[in-house]
Structure 1
Amino acid sequence: MNYLLTIGLLVCSNIFMTFAWYGHLKLAENAWFSKLPLLGVILFSWLIAFFEYCFQVPANRIGFEGNGGVFSLVQLKVIQEVITLMVFVIFSSFAFHAPLKMNHLIGFALLVLAVYFIFKG
């Protein structure tokens, strides 16, 4: 069951990461936030990123085979990247109404294929 906990923690981590990296772009639509200086925006993002690490570090420690988990270091990284893209697509679709184009879908399919080959060995 550690693999499910690891994946769940990675999903939570990536939700916070996406908001830390891109949420300030959406929040800039609000008058109070758009008046913040760049340093204020950076500090705001760092505050969110703190919670990202609160999920990311345990996910890697629990999931890593060297600590009794089921994933190699490479597998953890590939899982994290695919989750990042999935969370980003959902976020950008809802927050920015960004269209998902065919070349995006092909790129994501290739990443899923990469996951297959990483886990095959």
Structure 2
Amino acid sequence: MSSPPATRRSFGAWGCGRLGSHDVELLAAAAADPDPRVRSQAVGSIPDPVGDDWAFAVLYATLGDLDEQVRVSAVSRLGYTGRADAVAPLVALGADRSRGLTPDPGHGVYAAGASVAGAGRVLFS
């Protein structure tokens, strides 16, 4: 269970994304937080990286996070972008069963993969 300060940081990351701030610098720092709930909220709050290489780099880096929920958040954000360069890392993650994701429609993983040039069929077929 998260400590009260971690819970506050998690809500802060959530609020940053939901209230329209989309401060990539702040969210990138939160994506490196020691608490996985904070990292997951931060990653899920990063704005669409379609025109932002830094946001894309942060999301790409978090595909390798040790926590599955953080990786799910990264897949969801990358999967809904229109960037063609998001396909290869998503396919690689899906193919690597040692650090891949558990297919779960409730987490948006199928939808995320399906929205990136059919990657969902490759990720979880």
**Normalising by structure 2, what TM-score?**
0.26
Point out which structure has higher relative CO (alpha carbons under 8 A, 6+ apart). Answer: 1
Which structure has the highest helix share of the two?
1
